[in-house]
Structures are given as C-alpha cells and as structure tokens.
Amino acid sequence: MRIIVAGAGIGGLRAAALLGKGRADVTVYERADSASDMRYPWHDDVSPSAFTDSGLELPKDSFIKKDWSFVAPDGSGIRRMHEEESKADYSVWRTRLNAELVEYAEKYCAVRFGKNVTALTSDNGRVTGVVVDGREEKADLVIDSTGLDSPLKQGAKSITRHSADEVFVVYRAFYEKNFEAPEAEHSNKAYLKHMGESGIAWAIQDGELVDVLVGRLGEMSDETLKRALSVLKRENPTIGEKTVMGGGIYRIPVRYPATRMVSDGYAAIGDAAYMTIPMLGSGIASSMAAAKMLSDVVAEALDAGKSASEAASSENLWKYQRRFFTEIGANHCGVDVMKRGVLSFPDDMLGWLLTSSVLTNADVCSLAKGNPIYIGFGEALKKVRTAGIGKIPALLKVNSMLTRSHRAIRLARRIPERYSAEAIARWEKKLRRIIAGE
C-alpha cells in the first residue's frame, strides 16, 4: 500500500512511522528545509502519558510545568492554581519534538524536506495522490498533516472547513529577561479576556527568558498587538527589550474537531482536522493518539485481506474518525462550549468567578488543562451557598454553559457507527447547534 503524508506535523510523522513500520510504503513531504525549520519555535504543555501511551520517551530538555496564575479581565484580581507534581504537565520544546519524531520516522519511511505539496489529485471523487513541486505523485492514501489552512481540502470531498472565529491568531516570543526588575511574584501569569477582548495573553518566566504570548480570536491588528504588549510589559517589568526567539504571528485552530475528516483516499490529522484543545490550542497528545488510531484502522483492514483501495475507503477510514471522537474528540466538543461561554461572560462576572472560592482549585486545574468541568448537585448547592443569593444569576449562566457542554459531549459520542453522508449531516448539524448555539 502506497501512502503519502503531506506535511511533517506531529500526527503525520507519528502515523508515517507506525504505518511504515507495518506493511505500507510511506513517504512524508515537508516544505520546510529541515526539522529545525519546522513550525513553532516554542514549547507546549502536554501530559507525560501522551508519550508513554505512544511508546515514546519525553523529548530531551522537557521540564515540569509551573502553576498558572489567572488574572481577571480588568486586572483587579488574580487566582493561583496548584497542581500536584505527580499530575502536572511537562513543557515540551516543539523543535526538539519535531526532530525526534523525524528521526524515528526515518527508520521506517522516507521523509523528504524542501518539498511543497500544493494540491490533491483525484479521479471520480476519489483522492489518488498529490501535487508536489508541480509534479504528480500517486498514492492509495493521502494523510493531510499540512495544518490549519490546508491547501489540500479543496480536492477532498465534503471535508470540514473552519470559520474565521474558530482561529486563534497569536504572537509569541521569548524575550531576554530584565534582571534589574524585581523577581515576578507569579511565574506563569495568564490573562483571560485580556484587556476585555476575545483572547488571552501571558508572561512566563523561563529561566533567563520570559515567554510572552498575545492572542485574539479571529483576527489581531498591529495596533491591538502593540497596545497589548505595552500593557504586558508595564505589568511584567521582567520582560526585557530584546527578542531572543520567535516573534512571529501564527494561526492555530481553537474549535471542536472536524466532523468530516475522511474521504475516499484521504484522511486529515492534527491541525488539519482541528485536533487541538479549544481552550488551549495544544494538540500534541490528541494528534499522537490519532496517529495510532489511523494506523490501526488501516492495518486491521489489510490484515483482514482487504485491498489497499478498500483500506483507504471512506467507509473504512470512518472507523478512525469514530474512534477519535468517542475517545478524545467528544471532550473537545464540550470544551469548545466552555470556551465560547467564557468569552461571552461579562468581564466583571468572569473576574469574580476566577478570584472567588466558587471555583475550586480542582475546577481551575481542569480549566488550565482544557478539560470539561463536572459539578454534581451537592457541589452545586455548596457553590450557591458560597456565592450568596446575589450571585445566583451568574451561577445560572455558568450552569447553563456546563449543561450545554455535557450535552455536546454526549452527542459527539453518538457519532454514526458507519459512514453515511446523510447520517453524518444530521449528526454534525445537531452538534453545531449545541456548540455554536445555532
């Protein structure tokens, strides 16, 4: 079976290694000139279990994540969470992770750098390969790992596409630390609805560097970025003047997973399938898990005596999507509801929730990791007593959001068992209505 992986994303590289380790002939095409030139010059938080579950070791230079401190939208209050060290995530450098995944993949398949995949080729609605540097390359299956703004989706039948408000436009840079300033009281300071706008910001003390992020939902003007950086530097004087790494503008999906990520001869993975956690924008763990699911589905079909064409059919590849939604994607749907809810809360209400005792440390830890929050009836009564009668309207808004979040999770797990265009259309319409309120 001939497989082409377009783009050396995390999910694509992992799938390439697993499939190449089996019976497939796999080639990865990546437009960057080398592993060190690929994608994001920063670190992301991920649970160590994401690597142990995949049979991999944590990349070198990974370090345990410090506790977050959340700042109210108007800056009037701050809430520090505390995570037990045994449960804490690790910060993983993306360039290091990319390099190690490339090195591992090259044991089982070909990884070609400096190769630009611009389009799919197809025949009667079935994907038959890709166009690489103007030349057609044939394949039984194309795995799309080209990211959020995939150029390949135009050539695949009925694949989900994001809307403008489901993109996080982010500036991220590592600044030289100003050692003449007083040491920061909060090492990992995160601003929700920064400056009252739909987005976040943070300042993280990383040894001799300060990790700075400014992000906005949908779009971010130069003026917005300039103003936000000015505020961050004023409130965090440890941020020096010199940029050491990064400093670019990046686009990250912050929506629930694609409800249609497969077609005949085609499967999307990673950012191309919107596998990031909507609250955080991190997709390392989910992409690596998805790679295992995809490789298993293809291998199971081949082991059962199916042809390469049958293994790469939409009917078979749907099993991959279904496994992803039932095991991971459903929770992402619930988190998307929470993300939209939090951004719609009035600033004073969000500030009160963050800084009051209504949200427990466990609640804040769940939010920080992009996990759904579950509150039982007894716990809800306790929160009402803690907040007081005057805060009941605010608590009702929170309860409505959480109820909708849980409904989205349940519906997402009821993804159609078999590939059917009509059944999928009905399911995704209901899911969109719950999540986006349409």
pLDDT digits (tens, 9 = 90+) for 275-290: 999 977 789 999 999 9
Contact 127, 121 (CB under 8 A): yes
Q: According to the model, what pLDDT value does residue 383 have?
A: 66
- 161 in Cβ contact with 153 (< 8 Å): yes
Report how far residue 344's alpha carbon sits from residue 352's, in angstroms, rounded to the nearest whole number: 14
Which of these ranges, 128-137, 311-320, 428-437, has the smallest mean pLDDT?
428-437
What sign for the dihedral angle of Cα 288, 293, 296, 302? negative
Beta strand 126-132 with 117-123 is antiparallel
pLDDT at residue 361 greater than cutoff 60: yes
- pLDDT for 377 beyond 60: no
Q: Is 221 helix (H, G, I), strand (E, B) or coil?
A: coil
In the block, tokens 């809307």 appear at: 163
Q: Does domain 165-253 have CATH number 2.60.40.10?
A: no
Helix (H, G, I), strand (E, B) or coil at 11: helix
| Residues 61, 96 contacting (CB under 8 angstroms) | yes
Secondary structure (DSSP) of 135-172? EEEE-SEEEE-S-TT-SSGGGSTT-----GGGEEEEEE
Distance (Å, whole) CA 373 – CA 379: 12
Average pLDDT value for the chain? 91
Which pLDDT value is given to residue 371? 78
> What is residue 79's predicted lDDT score, i.e. its pLDDT?
87
- Check: CB of residue 38 under 8 Å from CB of residue 171: no
Which pLDDT does position 150 carry in this prediction?
Answer: 95
Closest CA to 291 of 273, 277, 313: 273
Residue 384 pLDDT:
64
- Rounded to the nearest 10 degrees, what angle do helices 284-303 and 10-21 cross at? 30
Task: Identify the weakest region by mean pLDDT among 4-8, 52-56, 200-204, 418-422.
Answer: 52-56
Separation of alpha carbons 172 and 228, rounded Å:
12
Q: Tell me what pLDDT residue 239 has.
A: 96
Tokens of 202: 């943070």
In the predicted structure, residue 4 carries a pLDDT above the cut 90: yes
Residue 373 confidence class, pLDDT cut points 50, 70, 90: confident
Question: Which of 387, 382, 406 lies closest to 349 in space, CA to CA?
Answer: 387
Pull the structure tokens for residue 187: 């090492």
Question: In angstroms, what CA-CA distances link 169 with 200, 210, 214, 218, 351?
Answer: 10, 20, 9, 6, 23
**Domains in the chain: boundaries:** 2-64+94-162+258-328, 165-253
**Distance between CA atoms of residues 361 and 396, nearest Å:** 20
**Superfamily of 2-64+94-162+258-328 according to CATH:** FAD/NAD(P)-binding domain (3.50.50.60)
Share in percent of the chain as helix, strand, coil (round to 5)? 40, 25, 35
Contact 297, 380 (CB under 8 A): no
Location of structure tokens 């630390």: 177
